[in-house]
Amino acid sequence: MEGDLGTVPAADPAAEPDGYVVLADDGTRVHFLDWGGPMGASGVVLIHGISQTAWLWAPVARRLRGAVRTIAMDLRGHGLSDAPTDDPDADYALATLAGDVVAVAEGSGLLPGAGDQVVLAGHGFGAIVAAAAAANLGPRCAGLILADGGWEDAEEASGVDVEEFLRTLDEPPEVLASMRAFLADRAAFDPGTWDEDQEHAARMTVVQTHAGRVVSATRPHALEASVRTMFAYDPLAVLPTVDAPVHALIAAEDETGSRAAALARISAARERAGQGAITVTRFPGVGHNLMRYRPLEVAAAILGVSAAAAR
């Protein structure tokens, strides 16, 4: 593990983030949560995955804010950010999403000048966006944390093409029958880690209709466009160009070991490019949502990268 667990601040259960909006280059309003924190080491921008929001990172942000300035953003089409509809192919292209990350880093004050640096951490699809933003930032990125994503080809990892993947995203009708049923389903993933933050994060992903049912809060056009961007992503074209150190956090491995193999290929490609191998922390038997199941360890990895940059 990069980062000492004993140096991670205790979670602050009373902390409440402030919400702000910045304008992206195309005028899209991008929402982010500012959890506060000292400005000594490189600040952190946290990026959620498909159909989630910034609140997914709350268990980690409550710890990080005791050591570094911490920002968690809503990707466009998600949460409280705008969901442009003019041209989904362009509006949700990887370069556009990466530009939103840079806009948040600059607009939040984490990157006030050319010599300042920021640490980026993304989960799942958010790790893909974080990787592209890190490449965009160049020397202004102090480190990149890939939380269970960002190093794989989506079709290879999932075993299905994009059209089939899109068809698997619908929730069972009984889960969407009511808010109570939806929250019970989410709590059942791991009852021991279900708390107010998890309930808040879950509630932010859906909207309750007048009839009492719930529907996804992620706009359908944004969801489809984001998934297509995820499947178009080529990690070999992006990660070897990231100048900063990269730390991958890998959850439970599949039966074939393909995820670890893909990570090894990317790490070797970075070494050939002179960028250095990827540091890897494995979480055997742990589900995809590492921020819920292992917030202390995720916070330690992020703080380790931030502290190394400061040194």
Average pLDDT of the chain is: 94
- Intra-chain end-to-end CA distance of the chain, in Å: 18
Given a contact cutoff of 8 angstroms between Cβ atoms, the answer to whether 291 and 147 are in contact is: yes
Measured on CA atoms in the order 65, 277, 134, 94, is the torsion positive or negative?
Answer: negative
pLDDT, position 93? 98
- Domain membership of residue 203 (yes or no) is no
The enclosing domain of 18 has a CATH number of 3.40.50.1820
What are the phi and psi torsion angles at 244 (to 5°)?
A: -80, 160
Strands 214-216, 141-147: pairing is unpaired
What integer is the mean pLDDT of 81-96?
A: 96
pLDDT, position 106? 96
- Domain membership of residue 95 (yes or no) is yes
Residues 6+ apart with CB under 8 A from 14: none
pLDDT, position 1? 44
Q: Rounded to an integer, what distance in angstroms lies between the CA atom of residue 285 and that of residue 166?
A: 26
Please give the share of the chain, as a percent, with pLDDT higher than 70: 96
pLDDT, position 54? 98
- Domain membership of residue 233 (yes or no) is yes
Instruction: Name the pLDDT band for 24 (thresholds 50, 70, 90).
Output: very high
- Domain membership of residue 175 (yes or no) is no
- Domain membership of residue 55 (yes or no) is yes
What integer is the mean pLDDT of 273-286?
A: 94
Domain carrying residue 20: 5-158+219-310
- Domain membership of residue 202 (yes or no) is no
DSSP 270-285: HHHTTS-PPEEEE-TT
- Domain membership of residue 237 (yes or no) is yes
- Domain membership of residue 205 (yes or no) is no
pLDDT(242) > 80: yes
Total domains present in the chain = 1
